[in-house]
């Protein structure tokens, strides 16, 4: 694992220390790693949302579509057919 040192104003350091204490993190590094992971997840989700928004429209979703999904889930795994 690599090491990274950051400088924070006292107000941010106090905030991080409080979050570590209140949320049960062992260290401020654990807290920061969690923030970075969440940011990565948000960026990935944003990319997927943009990709979906820019894609061609799909087929309309109807009650029949959901019933077909229910039927597929009810089948044993080996018998399932991918749509």
**Res 59 pLDDT > 60:** yes
C-alpha Rg value of the chain to the nearest Å: 22
Is residue 13 very low, low, confident or very high in pLDDT (cuts 50, 70, 90)?
very high
- Is residue 51 within 8 Å of residue 36, measured between CB atoms? no
- Percent pLDDT > 70 in the chain is 93
Predicted pLDDT at 66 = 94
- In angstroms, the CA 43 to CA 69 distance is 29
Predicted pLDDT at 46 = 98
Predicted pLDDT at 76 = 80
**Res 41 pLDDT > 60:** yes
Residues with Cβ within 8 Å of residue 19, at least 6 apart in sequence: 25, 31
């Amino acid at each position: 694992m690599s090491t990274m040192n950051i400088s924070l104003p006292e107000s941010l350091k106090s905030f991080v220390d409080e979050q570590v204490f209140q949320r049960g993190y062992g260290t401020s590094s654990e807290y920061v790693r969690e923030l970075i992971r969440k940011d990565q997840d948000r960026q990935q989700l944003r990319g997927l949302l943009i990709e979906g928004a820019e894609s061609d429209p799909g087929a309309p979703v109807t009650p029949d579509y959901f019933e077909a999904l229910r039927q597929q889930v009810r089948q044993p795994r080996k018998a399932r057919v991918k749509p």
